[in-house]
Amino acid sequence: MKKKREMSEDELLALLRASLVREGRLLPETEDEIERVERELAKETTPLPESLRNPNAVLKGTWSGEVEFRPRGDLVGADPEATRELLARAARAGGAIPSEVEEEMRRQRDADTRPEDDETEDE
């Protein structure tokens, strides 16, 4: 009877990772993993639908399908202040906004939302 060989933790993790990459549950990272995935993909080519074969038509949005932007309800909604803050942060790729910049944004926003003085009242 053959004696079972114990696997080291590193061997087990490598085997688990290889399985997850093979199943498409993890992205390939090493050159070997990428080459193997590329070989597999080359075997399973699926032709593009006719509507996507012209890149210029796709980029111009002139193909048969319609694309509509719909903001996520949990990000854009009833709280305009929170929406503006989220959009400002998104525009900066989620980076930190220095406090002086936030203060200037706040001042500009306040100036934009203040009612204009009615000059006819002084007359």
Query: What pLDDT does 123 receive?
Result: 47
Terminus-to-terminus CA distance in the chain, angstroms?
A: 108
Quick one: CA torsion of 9, 12, 18, 22, rounded to 10 degrees?
-140
- Amino acid letter at 109? R
84 versus 107: which is more confidently predicted? 107
Angle at CA 49, nearest 5°, toward 43 and 47? 15
CA-nearest of 60, 61, 58, 82 to 72 is 82
- The mean-pLDDT minimum among 16-30, 51-65, 93-107 falls in 51-65
For the four alpha carbons of 86, 88, 91 and 97, in that order, the dihedral sign comes to negative
Average pLDDT over residues 3-20: 88
Does residue 8 have a pLDDT over 70? yes
pTM: 0.33
Tell me the per-residue pLDDT of 82-97, one tens digit each, with 9 for 90 and over.
777 777 777 767 667 7
Does residue 70 have a pLDDT over 70? no
| Residue 112 in tokens | 């934009």
Contacting residues for 96 by C-beta, under 8 A, at least 6 apart: none
Domain boundaries defined on the chain: 10-43, 72-114
Q: What is the mean pLDDT of the chain?
A: 75
CA distances from residue 40 to 34, 49, 96 in whole angstroms, order as listed: 10, 21, 42
Does residue 21 have a pLDDT over 80? yes
